[in-house]
Amino acid sequence: MRIFCRYSLQLILSHQSRVLCYLNSCSFISAAVMQFNRRWKFGWGRFSEVDLFTDRHESNAETLSQAIRAAASEEPDADGSVLFGQLKGTVVGLRYYSGVVNQGEMVGLVRQPQNPYDRNAVMVANIYGNQVGHIKKELAAAMAYIMDNNLAKVEGVVFSGTKNTYTMPVMLSFWGKEESKNSVLEQMSRRGYKLNTEGGKLKGTPCTILKNAFDNLFEGLMESKDGEKEAAVSVATPLLLHQKQALSWMCARENKAALPPFWEKRGELYYNTLTCFSAKELPERVRGGILADDMGLGKTLTVIALILTNFHKGKPLPVEKCVSRRVLQSFQAICFMSNLFSPITKCVKIIDLYALGAEGSVLFEDLDFAAALSGSTSGTGSKKKKTDKKSSLTQNDLKARTTLIICPLSVLSNWLDQFEQHMDPNVKLNVYLYYGPERNRSKKFLSSQDVVITTIYTNVLQRSLIPLHGISWLRVVLDEGHIIRNPNAQMSKAVLDLKAQRRWILSGTPIQNSVRDLWMLVAFLGLKPFDTREWWNRVIQRPVTQGDRAGLQHLQTLVKCITLRRTKNSEVNGRPLVSLPEKKVYVEQVELSQPEREEYELARTEGKNTIGRYVAEGTVLRNYADVLAILMRLRQHCCHPDLLAKMSSDLATPAELRERLIEKLRLVLASGSDEECSVCLDSVRLPVITHCAHVYCRPCIAQVISTSGQVAHCPLCRGEIKTSELVEFPQEEMEEENITKPERWRTSSKVQALMGNLLRLRSKDSSIKCLVVSQFTRFLTILETPLREHGFSFVRLDGTMTQKKRTQVIQEFQSSAADSPTIVLLSLKAGGVGLNLTAASHVFLMDPAWNPATEEQCIDRCHRLGQKRKVVVTKFIVKDSVEENMVKIQRKKQDLMEKAFGSTNTDRKTSRIDDIVALMEL
DNA sequence: ACCGCCGGGTGCC
DNA sequence: ACCGCCGGGTGCC
């Protein structure tokens, strides 16, 4: 193991400059690191592991697996790859390695630049990273250049002769970017290898069929998941039928020893039907999955029930107080187990104490035991392997007690509330909120908790998660799993590295944009072999993106196996899952007043001219920030004239350029509108603006720059970009802005429309509570004045508020007290999903959003479980304005989002331009 | 014979 | 490898 680590690290280091090779190697090694039965011939490793590490990573607290994982996850997407051709090659040296392969099995090819016999060496390995042999040296010499220079990715399939003792043939496929094709063919032919470019054509499937199939990926996931389970007695809230079903499914996923998808038993061997790999050992099953129920179906409650109901061996979690007969029995079962398998009698003693209902505080005083509890599993590989083989838990595994819940800040308080609400009050559950500067970081302490809740926010995360990495969790629950969609994000990497027996992802929106998003989820769940990027790309992602039906089918199978999803509209036995009150959506047209209309038309004509010019010149994307600014101004006109910020004049010194860029970035961000990053196709995080005025997430664009070699180009306009020229939004300014407000307040048509509605409602029924939603936080500020004037009691929720303040505000609003606020001024994106505002039954959407899903989410904050009244949604749309066009585009946009996984970057760019043309009626 | 031929030793990169 | 290749032994048939 040690030698292996050194070897792999050296491999990494020796090729830092050659990106593909480095990635290739690592993606394999990540899989290979789990393997210990290999006979490594290479004994060179003069450096210590730490030395090697600090060379590449600043922090030496990182673990080996973290680095390898990090590298593995950087394997580029295969989306745009084309097949250059195929070539029959030879694998030699079979007799020196233990790795075996089957007929038709996929193998990986890994460069071994440090091989002492041949620096061109190309290793052949199976999906677990076990070496099978080498590519014959002449061919390896031809391949090395191509692999090292990222000209092509080479993949192998062993098609015959697998029983050979010495050599066997392998079919090599060369994949890469179209522009590298000729160069690769030429390189190979120069060395006397002719790639067969025929017959490799994939039969394309019409996009529409694919799209529908993809839409249906999460449909029908209820089937064959029936069966119900009652929650443990410590859960006070009775579960609804569908929640019992979910609990039953989740327990089964945690306890049952079913084979993971695509594995079957063939004789003595376990066989992977996709890669044709087989192994003697039972493949490690995934204990966990994705709970992708719609919001409001009670995912939180279900997970709480799971935590309390399914401790080790399917027994309920032993909790303090209220020591029922049932709980005692489960303790004894554990004691019995421990006695059988463990020489550590301390463990038994401690569990005995638990069984007697002793105080929690005295239980973990023994330091040795605590250390054993929190002990890292790295280095215990052989033990782990034994576990897998027997498919039973080791005594060490049975010690894990704690469930770690990772959630966005916005739902943190919700978890605490829900625990409070759903627990039997006579039962003491140790729930620790791992948050804030004075959190308790002791491993001993943390691993003695029943539940640790933490947030996954910002850059603090990497540092703050480190104590969490030293702990062997019983279970890790990732709430809002799509927050780790971007595999390059630091927090995604940190999350992948947590050690846990069981892993769950909760998500209301499992696939937002593409297959790509799924990888991170699959990797988190540890679904082998797809936790290695190469295998995911080869077996799932590329086939699906290139329209291969089988690929899509595999994806569907995969998702079905690990996902439970019900929607608000799902039915069980012909009856709806939950009966939500009716929801009605009205659009109220707003007519602008004469002066407003004049101002609007002025701005529109001017904007139309400008944009028309860009369109004619074909420079829309180069001037994208300008275009956005124009659209933004028109949208602001529709709401209130005071929303329009003064534009800075056009100047060009560096400092002023910077100012202007910041100004543009401000326009995009400060309004709260939903700008998407063209790299990750998600809302921008850590926004930066390029000199060509396009906004991206900083990590995304940094990735683009670092992988583009000498000169990097803006993904949107192809203008040259440099890291040094990325402009960030100055932190102080994020909160500023609200100061400059008016001595003389004035109204607007939209304000009038809202106030009319609110007053009418109040006179009809003063107990009705409302959400007033806008993308413009300044509009919310403007609305405060008339609300106050008319004596409305209101609260405000926007992105700038601290968690504490937020919780307080929500509590105030949800209260049924007579003097409680009746209105929430809500910024569209504030808090993200999960907010519970069921006290409100009327929603006023002041301005249309680009993304209709955002609006839906907002409405769902009150139209969800717990809503007693009929929900009425009113959307204000200004007649004859950009807003009307936005509504039209919303539908089209929805379509585009759904099929985005199949579209190219060019498609997305043209769709943006089309949007803009349509908006401006050009 | 500065060759051919024979047969043993040997074998990934 | 039931091969190819290498290099030493050998030398009309």
Distance, CA of A486 to CA of A507 (rounded, Å): 15
Residue A585: pLDDT band (50, 70, 90) is very high
Which nucleotide, over all strands, has the C1' atom closest to the CA of A164? C1
Q: In this structure, is residue A74 part of a structural domain?
A: yes
Nucleotides of B under 7 A from a protein CB: 12-13
Compute how many other C-beta atoms are within 10 angstroms of the C-beta atom of residue A98: 11
**What is the pLDDT at residue A866?**
80
User: Quick one: pLDDT at residue A661?
Assistant: 74
What is the model's pLDDT at position A377? 32
Q: Is residue A636 part of a domain?
A: yes
CATH number, domain of A526, equals 3.40.50.10810
Measured in degrees and rounded to the nearest 5, phi and psi for residue A196 equal -80, 110
When pLDDT is averaged across residues A399-419 and rounded to a whole number, the result is 87
Query: In terms of domains, do A714 and A770 share one?
Result: no
- Summarised one tens digit per residue, pLDDT across range A900-920 is 444 455 566 676 777 788 888
Q: pLDDT digit string (tens) for A766-806? A: 999 999 999 888 899 999 999 999 999 999 998 777 767 88
Domain match, A614 and A563 both: no
The nucleotides of chain C lying under 7 Å from a protein CB are: 1
Q: A758 lies in a domain?
A: yes
Q: 3-class SS at A50?
A: helix
- For residue A73, being part of any structural domain is answered with yes
Through-space separation of residue A812 CA and nucleotide C13 C1' in angstroms = 116
Residue found under tokens 């048509």: A749
Burial of A263 (C-beta count, 10 Å sphere; 0-12/13-18/19+): buried
Written as one letter, the residue type at A697 is C
CATH number of the domain encompassing residue A52: 3.30.70.2330
A window 572-631: Cβ near strand C (< 7 A): none
In terms of domains, do A109 and A152 share one? yes
User: What pLDDT score does A840 carry?
Assistant: 95
pLDDT (average), residues A319-347: 41
Are residues A868 and A780 part of one domain?
yes
pLDDT tens digits, residue range A595-620? 999 999 999 999 999 999 998 998 88
For A320 and B1, how far is CA from C1' in angstroms? 98
Residue range A328-347: average pLDDT? 34
Nearest Cα to Cα of residue A204 among A910, A909, A911, A902:
A902
Distance A100 CA to C2 C1' (A): 24
Q: Which residue has the higher pLDDT, A685 or A402?
A: A402
Note the pLDDT of residue A137. Answer: 93
Residue (of A133, A119, A159, A102) closest to A21 by Cα position: A119
The C-alpha atoms of residue A544 and residue A552 are separated, in whole angstroms, by 5
Question: Tell me, what's the pLDDT at A207?
Answer: 44
Shared-domain flag, residues A561 and A425: yes
Answer yes or no: do A88 and A144 share one domain: yes
Domain extent, residue A162, equals 2-190
Task: Give the mean pLDDT of A221-244.
Answer: 82
A108 CA from B11 C1′ (Å) = 25
Residues A562 and A618 in one domain: no
- Residues A64 and A54: beta-carbon distance below 8 Å: no
pLDDT band at A673 (very low <50, low <70, confident <90, very high): low
**A163 and A267 fall within a common domain:** no
Q: Number of structural domains, chain A?
A: 4
**Mean pLDDT, rounded, for A743-762:** 93
Pairing of strands A871-878, A842-845: parallel
- Determine the average pLDDT of the residues in A369-391: 35
One domain, residues A896 and A808: yes
Lowest-confidence pick of A30-39, A134-143, A519-528: A30-39
Q: Give nearest nucleotide to A120 (CA–C1').
A: B13
- Does residue A518 lie in a domain region? yes
Same domain, A526 and A651: no
Q: Residue A864 maps to which CATH number? A: 3.40.50.300
Identify nearest nucleotide to residue A144 by CA to C1′ distance: B13
Question: Residue A705: is its pLDDT beyond 70?
Answer: yes
Residue A321 in domain: no
Kindly state whether residue A378 falls inside one of the protein's structural domains. no
Low-confidence winner among A84-88, A127-131, A197-201, A281-285 (lowest mean pLDDT): A197-201
- A718-750, pLDDT tens digit by residue? 888 888 888 886 654 443 444 444 567 899 999
Q: Is the pLDDT of residue A354 over 50?
A: no
pLDDT digits (tens, 9 = 90+) for A274-300: 998 988 888 888 899 999 888 778 899
Through-space separation of residue A727 CA and nucleotide C2 C1' in angstroms: 71
CB neighbours (10 Å) of residue A731? 7
Closest-approach nucleotide to residue A92, Cα vs C1' = B12
Q: Is the peptide bond before A581 cis (omega within 30 degrees of 0)?
A: no
pLDDT at A885 exceeding the cut of 70: yes
pLDDT over threshold 60, residue A38: no
Q: Please give the share of chain A, as a percent, with pLDDT higher than 90.
A: 36
A16 vs A103, which has greater pLDDT?
A103
Minimum CA–C1' distance nucleotide for A165: C1
Angstrom distance, A669 CA to B9 C1': 76
Task: Give domain status of residue A374, yes or no.
Answer: no
- Least confident stretch, A57-71, A294-308, A581-595: A57-71
pLDDT at A727: 82
Candidate from A60-74, A105-119, A211-225, A546-560 with smallest mean pLDDT: A60-74
| Sign of the CA dihedral running A59, A63, A67, A69 | negative
Q: Does residue A731 share a domain with residue A757? A: no
Statement to judge: residues A416 and A495 lie in one domain: yes
Listed residues A121, A156, A190: the one ending a domain? A190
Q: What mean pLDDT do residues A635-655 have?
A: 69
